[in-house]
Amino acid sequence: MPDNPFRLDGKPAIVVGAALGIGRAIALAFADAGAKVACLDIDQAAASETAARIKSASGTAIALRCDVTSETSIAGAVKAAIAAHGSPRALVNGAAMREPTGTIVELEPADWNRAIAINLTGAYLMSRAVIPHMANAVASYTSPRRWAGSALQAAASTALARAR
């Protein structure tokens, strides 16, 4: 019987935005498939809850605080993830700013800039830091969720999709 291509037994994965929602679900699914998961998020307490859930199901996980708008924070988190689990085979860029939402006319420039820094530039900076360490595989996720009237989400998701 051929190997199951959906198993990740012993393979290191970095999931950014692992504290809640889709990022947490992906971290749990990767762990269920056998991956050693580094749960990164700016909310370390919530990322620790995700890692604890993985460990309680006999998985391997580490929680690390990571601010995707800071290259220093990213470098430290990537270094710690690699030290704990080895070179990653998968990267999930799931960090995203949820609020504010609105049309171009409704959004303040400061809100736009902060969202782009997290949703778009954060994915770029994280990928730039992780890819040189990756062994044989790249998996990157950008949120498919489209909020009605959300110029920020539409711009960031489209920019990331075009960058591939």
Q: How far apart are CA 18 and CA 81, in angstroms?
A: 14
Could you tell me which of 117, 8, 92 has the C-alpha nearest to residue 81? 92
Q: Is residue 60 part of a domain?
A: yes
Report the CATH number that the domain containing residue 105 is assigned in CATH.
3.40.50.720
Q: Is residue 63 part of a domain?
A: yes
102: confidence class by pLDDT, cuts 50, 70, 90: confident
Q: Is residue 93 part of a domain?
A: yes
145: confidence class by pLDDT, cuts 50, 70, 90: very low
Please tell me the predicted confidence (pLDDT) of residue 4. Answer: 77
pTM of the entire predicted model: 0.83
Q: Is residue 67 part of a domain?
A: yes
Say how many CA atoms lie within 13 Å of 19 toward its Cβ.
16
Q: Is residue 82 part of a domain?
A: yes
148: confidence class by pLDDT, cuts 50, 70, 90: very low
Q: Is residue 5 part of a domain?
A: no
Q: Which domain holds residue 93?
A: 12-163
Domain count, the chain: 1
Q: Assign 3-class secondary structure to 89-156.
A: CEEEECCCCCCCCCCCCCCCHHHHHHHHHHHHHHHHHHHHHHHHHCCCCCCCCCCCCCCCCCHHHHHH
Q: Is residue 1 part of a domain?
A: no
With H, G, I as helix, E, B as strand and everything else as coil, classify residue 22: helix
With H, G, I as helix, E, B as strand and everything else as coil, classify residue 5: coil
